[in-house]
């Protein structure tokens, strides 16, 4: 059974015998998001950021989709909110979001936390990140990656992840 999110993905890329139709893909993703799909929320946000001709959605509405996606468990949305908040100067909130994403196995979030911690004052917000909390995030990130790792996934994943784990 195909989900609305997957149908939107097939329409976006023109896969599985479906012709490429970005507007129809957006429609499917919006319906999927309304029914609770965290992945669809993330896809809508990426679409709004990258293709404003297809999705002339205002930034406020896109941010709402991103927040909903993060609350529903979309790790990329959680990471993006963390980076955005950190860059806005909300260091404590940004680091909290990055830690949640890292603990779910998101390597880029863990790398951002390491960079903040090891920056020796060149990045603000280090006071919200202790050595213990970074070690905990590292341990949990690795455990999450081990849990979802399989040879079959590694074979079909991006080349940078074929090497196994990076934590």
pTM of the model: 0.70
pLDDT digits (tens, 9 = 90+) for 99-112: 999 998 899 999 99
Q: Which of 66, 92, 109 is the last residue of a domain?
A: 66
- Per-residue pLDDT, 1: 44
pLDDT digits (tens, 9 = 90+) for 61-92: 778 888 888 888 888 889 989 998 999 999 99
- Domain shared by 91 and 126, yes or no: yes
- Per-residue pLDDT, 12: 86
The answer to whether the CB of 4 falls within 8 A of the CB of 35 is: yes
Provide the 8-state DSSP code for 162. Answer: T
- Domain shared by 121 and 151, yes or no: yes
Which contacts (CB < 8 Å, 24+ apart) does range 85-88 have?
86/112, 86/116, 86/125
- Domain shared by 58 and 79, yes or no: no
- Domain shared by 105 and 59, yes or no: no
- Domain shared by 58 and 100, yes or no: no
CA atoms 119, 121, 125, 131: torsion sign: positive
Q: Write out the residue range of the structural domain in which residue 149 sits.
A: 74-167
């Amino acid at each position: 059974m195909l989900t609305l999110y997957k149908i939107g993905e097939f329409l976006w890329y023109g896969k599985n015998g479906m012709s490429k139709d970005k507007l129809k893909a957006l429609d499917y993703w919006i319906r999927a998001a309304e029914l609770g799909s965290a992945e669809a929320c993330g896809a809508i946000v990426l679409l709004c950021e990258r293709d404003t001709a297809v999705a002339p959605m205002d930034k406020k509405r896109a941010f709402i989709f991103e927040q909903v996606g993060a609350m529903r468990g979309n790790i990329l949305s959680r990471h993006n909110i963390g980076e955005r908040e950190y860059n806005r100067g909300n260091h404590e909130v940004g680091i909290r979001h990055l830690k949640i994403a890292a603990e779910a196995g998101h390597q880029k979030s863990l790398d951002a936390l390491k960079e903040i911690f090891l920056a020796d004052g060149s990045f603000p917000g280090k006071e919200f990140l202790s050595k213990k909390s970074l070690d905990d995030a590292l341990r949990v990130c690795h455990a999450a990656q081990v849990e979802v790792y399989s040879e079959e996934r590694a074979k079909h994943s991006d080349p940078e992840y074929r090497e196994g784990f990076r934590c």
